[in-house]
Amino acid sequence: MDTFVQLTLNGLTLGSVYALIALGYSLVYGILKLLNFAHGDVFMVGSFIGFGVLQLLGGATDPVLPLWPLLIVITVSAMAGCAVLGVVIERFAYRPLRDAPRIAPLISALGVSFFLAYSMQVLFGAEQRDYDAFSLDNGKLFLSGFDIGNVRVPLLRIVIIVAAFLLMIVLWLLVTRTRTGKAMKATSYDREAAAMMGIDIDRVIVVAFVLGSALAGAAGVLFALRAPTFPAIGFLAGLKGFTAAVIGGIGSVPGAMAGGLILGFAEAYTQGYISTKWSDLLVFVILIGFMIFRPQGLFGRPDIKKV
């Protein structure tokens, strides 16, 4: 039972991060019908921004801010930095190709992905960067928390899960309860009709990139608080986020959340009960399975065309 609880906790932590990444994929795909393969690298850049800000603020061993303001500052900085990066990517890599055949922005996305990964490698080196979060406040984030049976739920896990869910709820409210959200929804249904109704399509697309990239930045920091980051990490993280988005139904916000959590649980239970070797393989088996048997995902709508 303890193992099950621990693995569930592992899955929930990992799944929360995947869900944040998947939301970015879904937002952009929903509006532009573009698979933004650079999204995983935006996640990586976010983790690096968080690392840089943490070092500027004295590092984990001697920070100039108390624990909670410090965590907020590094997370918000990463979100802001990634939001700007998202706007730049949209403006220079995707907007000029908006009316080009669909393969063109896809290739451009792959190019941006490699550009970001290798630029970071050239600028900062390929080595792993460790936030050393264990040193923050004498290990408080790892050693304090509460117990479920014999399983400790550390404070850091609670922070990651709560922060991720808060961000998802904020996004959900933004998409469903605001004029901008309604404009995004309208654009995702029919871009041309939305434009004719007076919606500023360019602005809506930029907002989607800002939101998606900011969430990726937050995911980067939340992930890197527990595990080292490095320039090449974005590729696999991006693929997992993409898989989560496909599971949930790409374009669907609740689907992305559910897909991320399902993927996190699948990975954790596979590692815990079947084999540690097969977890990455399983992710892609799930992806292929959904593409073949339920391409619209769990929450997506089948793409039915009137003939």
Binding site residues, another protein, CB under 8 A: 3, 6-7, 10, 13-14, 121, 125-130, 134, 139, 142-143, 151-152, 154, 156, 223, 226-230, 232-233, 236, 267-268, 271-272, 275-277, 279-280
Q: What is the number of helices (H) and of strands (E) in the chain?
A: 12, 2
Smallest distance, Å, CB 145 to another protein?
9
- Partners of 153 in the β-ladder: 146
Closer residue to another protein (CB): 7 or 53: 7
Smallest distance, Å, CB 103 to another protein?
28
Is 55 within 8 Å of 48 (Cβ atoms)? no
Please state, in angstroms and rounded to a whole number, the distance separating the CA atoms of residues 247 and 135: 37
CA distances from 193 to 182, 185, 190, 197, 257 (A): 14, 12, 5, 6, 28
Instruction: Give the three-state DSSP class for 59.
Output: coil
Smallest distance, Å, CB 137 to another protein?
14
Closer residue to another protein (CB): 9 or 211: 9
Please state, in angstroms and rounded to a whole number, the distance separating the CA atoms of residues 227 and 88: 28
Please state, in angstroms and rounded to a whole number, the distance separating the CA atoms of residues 205 and 237: 23
Closer residue to another protein (CB): 49 or 141: 141
Closer residue to another protein (CB): 39 or 226: 226
Closer residue to another protein (CB): 279 or 296: 279
Smallest distance, Å, CB 285 to another protein?
15
Smallest distance, Å, CB 143 to another protein?
7
Smallest distance, Å, CB 177 to another protein?
34
Is 48 within 8 Å of 234 (Cβ atoms)? no
Closer residue to another protein (CB): 153 or 174: 153
Q: What is the DSSP letter of 64?
A: S
Instruction: Give the three-state DSSP class for 151.
Output: strand
Is 41 within 8 Å of 112 (Cβ atoms)? yes
